[in-house]
Structures are given as structure tokens and as C-alpha cells.
Amino acid sequence: MIGNGAIHVRPGVLPRTAIVTGGAGALGFAVARRLAADGNRVAIVDIGAETAERAGELPGGMGLTADVSNTAELVNAYRTVRDAMGPTGIVVHCAGVAPIAPFLDVDLATFAKSIEVNLLGGFTVYQLAARDLVNEGLAGRFVMIASIAGMRAGFGRTAYGTSKAASIHLMKQLALELGPYGITANSVSPGPVDTPMSRDAHTAEMRADYARTIPMARYGEEDETANAVSFFASPDSGYVSGQTLSVDGGYLAAGTGVPIAQAAAAVRRAPPRG
């Protein structure tokens, strides 16, 4: 019992089985690989044909092909993992689509698909896992791969950014409602990450614009996002919930003067003449 009549419930054991949706993609697999290195049993759920092959690269890994926007497929995949690997204590929703189109041009189907994959897929798998964990008295670690696009508007990001903003709020909602059961819920919001998806979607103009507005003047790497997920998924993060960690090279913190700061650093680092 703690103050004002609130009841303190000691959280149960954290099962070390993890599900990573989108785990066959570049970023998702980096997350899955890091979780496996941390000693977790990892199952990846992905729409890609290479899912089983990627899972085979993980010690004791499991791969299931499913479209996270198809509720029946996702439910079946989750239940298969649970039956084969036991209770799922760590859930990372990394599956996502990232359409880029100006607001005046984006169509309803594209907007809806972003919501279905980026938001509703997460809602479904988190709810499935939460119900099992609560029923069995176990702790949990839920992590959403969100985006800086969900925290700061960007041109052409109406569908993507809105779905990611909603995803961030979903985790805050889960932190509130699942906290009493010992389940934490947090978001990792990467800035631009150098993956095949970003290389296909980002034009040279976009990449140059990011370089001008990110203090570290580069795209992130997959492992830098995976490192943040590793903390949120660990036993050490048991009192951290409802948070959003931006892995963005200082992008969100920066206001004006980024090119000036970059130029000043270049001058200071220049080798002395002669």
C-alpha cells in the first residue's frame, strides 16, 4: 500500500521471449538481432518472403510470415509464437509503411494503409500479449518504433506522420492502463535511418535537407535504434514507462543555426595550415 490508498502490486517475472513485427526488414532485424544478443528468444513476424531465412540467423529464432494489417494473420502468428515459445514478455512493433505524398495529393487508401500497418498492427499485437501477461501475472516490455515524423511535421508526411503520432500516444495510453500490472510501454522515435526503405523513398533533395537540419549531419544506423530498444526491453527499465526516446542526431532539439554550427565545427576541426 502506498499513499492515498493506492495499491502497490509487485510486478511478476519478465518472460524473455520477444516478438518483433517487421523483423525481416533492415531496422527490424537489427532490433531482433540485438534482442537475441541480450539473451532473449526472438520471433520475427513479417510480410516478407525472407522471414524464415532471417529468423534462421538468430539463435533459436522463429519466423512467421504475416501481414500485420490483417488481424486474422497477426492473431494466428502471435498464437503460434506463444504456443511454441511460451509467454511473450517483449513486444516490439517495427512493421511499417512510409508513404510520402503532399496533403493535397495523398489518397484515402494510402492514409488508411498507414494507420492499419503502423498503428492498428501494434494495437493488435500489444493487446494480445497484454491479455496473456495480465492473466498469468507476468511483467512485460512493449516498445513502439515510432518516428520523429510523429513529433514534428514534415512535407509529404500526412499519412506517415499522423500514424506515428497516434502510435506514440497509444504507448502513453498503454503505460497508464498496463502500468499497474508491471507492463511498461515506450516509444523509440528514430530520425532518418540509412536503410533500403529510406534509400528508395528519400530523394537527393530530401537527404540534403536532412543533412542541413540534423546537428550530427548524417543519417542514423540501424544498430543505434536497436540499442535504444534494448534498454526499453531490459529488466533494468522496469520503472521507465510512457516515454519517447528520439534517436535522431539532435534533430528535434535543434532550432535555427544548424548549418552555422556545422560550419563552425568544420572550421575548428580543419587541420592547421602549414
| pLDDT averages per 10-residue partition of the chain, 274 residues | 57 93 96 98 96 96 97 98 97 95 95 98 98 97 97 91 98 98 97 79 78 84 96 96 96 75 79 70
Rg (CA), the chain: 20
Strand partners, 190: 247
Domain residues for the domain of 148 are 10-269
The CA-atom distances, in angstroms, between 218 and each of 156, 194, 198, 239, 271 are 21, 9, 13, 32, 22
In a domain? residue 1: no
Q: What is the pLDDT of residue 3?
A: 52
In the annotation, is 181 catalytic? no
What's the predicted TM-score (pTM) here?
0.89
The CA-atom distances, in angstroms, between 57 and each of 28, 146, 149, 208 are 13, 25, 31, 35
Task: Assign 39 to helix, strand or coil.
Answer: coil
CA dist 258 and 121 (Å) reads 36
Q: What is the pLDDT of residue 260?
A: 67
C-alpha cell at position 35:
534482442
Q: What is the pLDDT of residue 81?
A: 98
In a domain? residue 219: yes
What is the count of structural domains for the chain? 1
Q: What is the pLDDT of residue 63?
A: 98
Q: What is the pLDDT of residue 1?
A: 40
In a domain? residue 3: no
C-alpha cell at position 179:
502500468
Secondary structure (H, E, C), 76-96: HHHHHHHHHHCCCCEEEECCC
In a domain? residue 256: yes
* Backbone dihedral angles phi then psi of residue 28, each to the nearest 5 degrees: -60, -40
Q: Which residue among the candidates 78, 126, 160, 219 is catalytic per the annotation?
A: 160
In a domain? residue 274: no
> Is the sign of the CA dihedral 134, 18, 31, 22 positive or negative?
negative
In a domain? residue 243: yes
Which CATH number goes with the domain that contains 50?
A: 3.40.50.720
DSSP one-letter code for 251: T
In a domain? residue 240: yes
Is residue 113 within 8 Å of residue 95, measured between CB atoms?
no
Q: In what order do the strands lie in the sheet with 17-21?
A: 62-65, 41-46, 17-21, 90-93, 140-145, 183-190, 244-247
In a domain? residue 154: yes
